[in-house]
């Protein structure tokens, strides 16, 4: 169920508030363009700046707009375990197909602490859980041996891996089995990730180039890596430009260029510099998503 090009949705704002109409329009466009899944309220959706009410509302809106056509993987991770449980419970009640749980950040739990955190959420809520391992933002790494323990729990079904360690995909497959869902968390390195046996990507770039990202993933999943490489070469400048500054600032600017949102961010994020904006415009033109 969880494979292919899954978009890490931006959260459109207008005058400081969530732009609900723009968000649901974005969901509709993503499905039309071939995205195979939706992730509301992840890092790309500026989840740390959302109130709990906004967070839950966005999950509701996403499930409503998707209407069962593609899976919704709701971002429900948080630093306090009790808060992660509460957000995951809401996602389950809203009808989300899975929950994406980032490692607790800032307080740097041990491997046992990570295990107990994720176990507590999976014990409390009957919903498929995808772990989100991104040490660069959380300062903690879910080690493969910890993931192997978590894999034995009934609701832990996969991982979004943003460790930058491509070889880990194979190592984790050997430990957890080929049915343990492995999704890339880094657009630029997804080609190698897929060649190691990955199942897809939770993509930032798909916010502005969903059809191309979907075609790239289709080629990878068919084992047509020559075609996938041609898409990789075309998309790489765009992947790179969208991470010149802290995401999602560049991609929201890119989305504003094609009329999907205002590009508005919430502090502490600020708009990208003119140099970055120019590189985003150029790369979007290069791949043909901006005239």
Tell me if 12 is assigned to some domain: yes
> Which of 120, 70, 63, 110 lies closest to 90, judged by CA?
63
Inside any domain, residue 261: no
Model pTM score: 0.97
Domain of 33: which CATH number?
3.20.20.70
Query: Containing domain of residue 8, as a range?
Result: 4-224
Q: What gap in Å lies between CA 158 and CA 174, rounded to an integer? A: 14
> Which pLDDT score is estimated for 117?
98
Residue 161 within a domain: yes
Q: How many structural domains comprise the chain? A: 1
> What whole-number distance in Å separates Cα of residue 74 and Cα of residue 95?
10
Which pLDDT band holds residue 1 (cuts at 50, 70, 90)? confident
**pLDDT-derived band at 206, boundaries 50, 70, 90:** very high
Average pLDDT over residues 220-226: 98
Active site residues: 132, 160
Q: Is position 271 within any domain? A: no
Average pLDDT (278-282) is 98
pLDDT band at 254 (very low <50, low <70, confident <90, very high): very high
Q: Give residue 99's pLDDT band: very low, low, confident or very high (50, 70, 90).
A: very high
pLDDT score of 213 more than 90: yes
Task: Classify residue 19: in a domain, yes or no.
Answer: yes
Asked if 161 and 174 touch (Cβ cutoff 8 Å), the reply is no
| Sign, Cα dihedral of 14, 290, 35, 250 | negative
Residue 290: the pLDDT is 96
Average pLDDT, the chain: 97
| Percent of the residues in the chain that have a pLDDT greater than 70, as a whole number | 100
Residues 6+ apart with CB under 8 A from 49: 266, 267, 269
- Cα dihedral 262, 101, 39, 254, rounded to 10, equals 40
Is residue 99 in some structural domain? yes
Task: Please indicate, yes or no, if residue 237 is contained in any of the structural domains.
Answer: no
**Inside any domain, residue 256:** no
């Amino acid at each position: 169920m969880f494979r292919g090009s899954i978009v890490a949705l931006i959260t459109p704002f207008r005058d400081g508030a969530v732009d609900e109409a723009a968000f649901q329009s974005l969901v509709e466009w993503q499905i039309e363009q071939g995205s195979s899944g939706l992730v509301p309220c992840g890092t790309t959706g500026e989840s740390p700046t959302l109130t709990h009410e906004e967070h839950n509302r966005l999950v509701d809106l996403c499930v409503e707009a998707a209407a069962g056509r593609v899976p919704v993987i709701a971002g429900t991770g948080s630093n306090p375990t009790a808060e992660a449980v509460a957000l995951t419970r809401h996602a389950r009640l809203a009808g989300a197909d899975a929950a994406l749980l980032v490692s607790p950040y800032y307080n740097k739990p041990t491997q046992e602490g990570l295990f107990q955190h994720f176990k507590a959420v999976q014990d409390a809520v009957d919903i498929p859980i995808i772990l989100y391992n991104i040490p660069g933002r959380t300062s903690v790494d879910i080690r493969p041996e910890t993931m192997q323990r978590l894999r034995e729990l009934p609701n832990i079904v996969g991982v979004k891996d943003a460790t930058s360690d491509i070889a880990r995909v194979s190592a984790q497959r050997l430990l957890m089995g080929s049915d343990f869902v492995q999704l890339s968390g880094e657009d630029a390195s997804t080609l190698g990730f897929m060649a190691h046996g990955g199942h897809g990507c939770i993509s930032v770039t798909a916010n502005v180039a969903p059809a191309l990202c979907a075609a790239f993933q289709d080629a990878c999943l068919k084992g047509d890596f020559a075609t996938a490489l041609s898409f990789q070469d075309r998309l790489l400048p765009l992947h790179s430009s969208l991470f010149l500054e802290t995401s999602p600032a560049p991609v929201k600017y890119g989305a504003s260029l094609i009329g999907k949102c205002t590009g508005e961010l919430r502090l502490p994020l600020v708009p990208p510099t003119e140099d970055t904006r120019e590189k985003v415009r150029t790369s979007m033109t290069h791949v043909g998503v901006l005239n």
